């Protein structure tokens, strides 16, 4: 699939799920996302969904989403069908994107939907450009960059909003440090595949 540099917007997304692996039967229970255009959030998407079975106490504690809250919510199929419309034509970003991509692919596959954009990962980019950060967990990076965070982590919309702030901060830092006026997705794609020790050279020589 070609990298979609021409996409007019970027969607930052985050799933809350029943566990770690769709291959083991885990399902999405909440999707949150924000659309970024010209470094500003222009639209958001937030919805709980009923996975069709009771979620564990661990997930209730971890997310603050209870079985009672999921009672009466639309099904995964209904929500993901709307979300497929929301992301159509946009490139996608998530923190540790391999996790969210697995669930997005699995949920859309269940309803025979797909998407045309390509994923990038805020965690992999942060590992390249914030190499001295103590950890690259989302919450720790938000503190590390002194980004305001008024809300609770581990809910989908809030985490997607924080990932969006981190993403914009990272791109601004790259622009300021290397005198770039704009950062295309093709540069981000190149950076996340660049060995850490070579990141400075790639950015210094980027036109």
- Report the interface residues with DNA, using CB under 7 A: 14-17, 19-21, 23-24, 26, 56-59, 62-63, 95-96, 98-99, 102, 123-124, 127, 135-139, 154, 159, 192-193, 195-196
113 φ/ψ angles, rounded to the nearest 5 degrees: -115, 165
CB of 79 to DNA, least distance (A): 15
Nearer to DNA, 57 or 179 (CB): 57
Nearer to DNA, 39 or 62 (CB): 62
CB of 186 to DNA, least distance (A): 17
CB of 85 to DNA, least distance (A): 23
Q: Which two tokens stand for residue 139?
A: 């919450």
The rounded Cα 32 to chain-centroid distance in angstroms is 9
Nearer to DNA, 87 or 199 (CB): 199
CB of 8 to DNA, least distance (A): 26
Residue 6: DSSP 8-state: T
Q: In whole angstroms, give the CA distance from residue 75 to residue 34.
A: 21
| 79, 31 Cβ separation under 8 angstroms | yes
| 123, 41 Cβ separation under 8 angstroms | no
Q: In whole angstroms, give the CA distance from residue 16 to residue 205.
A: 39
Nearer to DNA, 102 or 200 (CB): 102
């Amino acid at each position: 699939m070609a990298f979609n540099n021409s996409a007019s917007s970027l969607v930052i997304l985050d799933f809350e799920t029943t566990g770690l692996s769709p291959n083991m039967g885990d399902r999405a229970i909440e999707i949150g996302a924000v659309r970024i255009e010209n470094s500003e959030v222009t639209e958001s998407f937030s919805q709980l969904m009923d996975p069709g079975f009771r979620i564990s106490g661990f997930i209730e504690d971890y997310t603050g989403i209870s079985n009672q809250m999921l009672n009466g919510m639309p099904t995964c199929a209904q929500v993901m069908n709307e979300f497929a419309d929301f992301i159509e034509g946009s490139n996608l970003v998530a923190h540790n994107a391999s996790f969210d991509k697995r669930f997005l692919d699995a949920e859309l596959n269940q309803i025979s939907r797909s998407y045309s954009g390509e994923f990038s990962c805020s965690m992999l980019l942060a590992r390249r450009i914030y190499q001295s950060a103590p950890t690259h967990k989302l919450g720790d990076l938000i503190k590390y960059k002194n980004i305001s965070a008024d809300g609770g982590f581990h809910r989908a919309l809030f985490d997607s909003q924080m990932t969006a702030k981190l993403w914009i901060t990272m791109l601004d830092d790259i622009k300021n440090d290397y005198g770039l006026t704009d950062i295309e997705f093709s540069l981000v794609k190149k950076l996340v595949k660049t060995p850490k020790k070579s990141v400075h050279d790639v950015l210094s020589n980027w036109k």
